[in-house]
Amino acid sequence: MRRALMLCGCRLQFFVPIAVLLLIGAAPAHAQSNEFKFNDAHFHLTNNVQEGPNIRDFLNMMGSKAGRVALFGVPLQQEWSYRVDGDRTPTYYLHTDAPLYYYSFTDAWIAMAYKSLAREQQARLDPMITGFNPTDMYAADHIRRVLETFPGVFTGIGEFTIHKEFVSAKISGQVASLEDPALDRILDFAAEVGLVVLIHNDIDVPFAKEGSEPAYLHQIKGLFARHPNVTIIWAHMGLGRLVRPGKSHFADIEAILRDPNFNHVYFDISWDEVAKYLVATPEATQITADLMRRYPDRFLFGTDSAAPKDEPQYSKVFSVYKPLWQSLDAQTSRNVRLQNYERIFDEARRKVRSWESAHVLVPGSN
């Protein structure tokens, strides 16, 4: 049927209106970016047990502060083991020793929430696919299946996790690795479709010996180098709750920024646990601001808020970064808060919609 439609040219007639609608959808976001404080490249609508605010309540939290948001659930479901925790219901991965497992339904949940919105509300969100196991060679097939089931919805994949303090070792099954062919297969597919990739990978292990090369720096650069055609956002600049920036951290990040082989790599500064390092002192703030000034197109603000209850909780990280915003010149600040997001996610939207036009039979197209 798909082939028949392509032969008779009916698909073409159908896809022109889609393109027009996409343009209409994207237009208000551009027009509005002057009025908003930030776009958010990193937001979890749900927590580790798949609970969170209604998407309409979340749009109210975005209000006139957050223009656009990269929206996803949490791929790792925390198991409630009655044997281990009894009636003490864990909602966060640190609340229990019970394992985490990959919860693919999160993608359907996010897609249905997005589809329940009006078009102008949808235009402010970029849903992301996260519900795959990055050690599974079939993970790329899951991503393809999500795009086929929910065409017109997703812009990228992530946040997904390879190495993360406390988390990696708790996941049932194989420990993830940056050198897993399954991960290469995922990124190859992201390149084919044009999906933006948001990856969490700690640059180092917690309590690393000062002066030693960060445990995962070499491997993640290898991953970036193997996938030059994928737009990759390295979440949290590789930092974590205990993975603090070592003496060489900013030099290591700058080496990536400076290297033309890594022009496709970006960094988000999301998570209050990361903000606590980047604006810890006036010196730390200055180092971060200087790096951003030298590479103003390569950083994105994100909240990493998960299942917020209200607006102050949602936008807390933006306030924590106040010293950074005050240290940046107006244009660099606008790039990090607003424009880099628009450029990267607009391009990904365009590419993914165009891949879907060629590969997915959109409902209602016949």
What distance, in Å, lies between the first and last C-alpha atoms of the chain? 9
> For Zn ion, which is the closer residue by CB, 240 or 296?
240
Choices 98-106, 208-216, 227-235, 242-250 (CB under 5 A): range interacting with Zn ion: 227-235
Smallest distance from the beta carbon of 235 to Zn ion, in angstroms?
A: 5
358's CB contacts (< 8 A; 6+ apart) are none
> For Zn ion, which is the closer residue by CB, 197 or 235?
235
Rounded to the nearest 10°, the torsion over CA 185, 191, 193, 198 is: 80
Smallest distance from the beta carbon of 170 to Zn ion, in angstroms?
A: 15
Smallest distance from the beta carbon of 159 to Zn ion, in angstroms?
A: 5
Smallest distance from the beta carbon of 164 to Zn ion, in angstroms?
A: 7
- Rounded Cα–Cα distance for residues 323 and 265 (Å): 25
Q: Collapse the DSSP code of 302 into the 3-class scheme (helix H, G, I; strand E, B; otherwise coil) and give the result.
A: coil
163 sits near Zn ion (criterion: CB under 5 A): no
> For Zn ion, which is the closer residue by CB, 269 or 328?
269
Taking residues 184 to 203 in sequence order and writing x for each that binds Zn ion by CB under 5 A, - otherwise, the string is ----------------x---
Choices 95-103, 140-148, 235-243, 324-332 (CB under 5 A): range interacting with Zn ion: 235-243
Query: Site size for Zn ion, by CB under 5 A?
Result: 2
> For Zn ion, which is the closer residue by CB, 96 or 305?
305
User: The tokens 């103003």 sit on which residue?
Assistant: 296
Taking residues 96 to 125 in sequence order and writing x for each that binds Zn ion by CB under 5 A, - otherwise, the string is ------------------------------
Instruction: Decide if 126 contacts 345 (C-beta within 8 A).
Output: yes
239 sits near Zn ion (criterion: CB under 5 A): no
235 sits near Zn ion (criterion: CB under 5 A): yes
> For Zn ion, which is the closer residue by CB, 33 or 201?
201
Detail the DSSP E strand segments found in the chain: 38-44, 66-72, 76-78, 100-102, 125-129, 156-161, 196-200, 232-234, 265-268, 299-300, 305-306
Two tokens, residue 186: 């995922």
- Rounded Cα–Cα distance for residues 266 and 222 (Å): 15
Smallest distance from the beta carbon of 184 to Zn ion, in angstroms?
A: 21
Two tokens, residue 182: 């399954």
Choices 68-76, 113-121, 231-239, 309-317 (CB under 5 A): range interacting with Zn ion: 231-239
For the range 4-8, what are the long-range contacts, defined as Cβ-Cβ under 8 Å and sequence gap of 24 or more? 5/361, 5/365, 5/366
> For Zn ion, which is the closer residue by CB, 170 or 200?
200
Two tokens, residue 19: 């393109």
Closest CA to 184 of 152, 137, 146: 137
> For Zn ion, which is the closer residue by CB, 124 or 200?
200
CA 212 centroid distance within chain: 29
Smallest distance from the beta carbon of 200 to Zn ion, in angstroms?
A: 4
Q: Which residues bind Zn ion (CB under 5 A)?
A: 200, 235
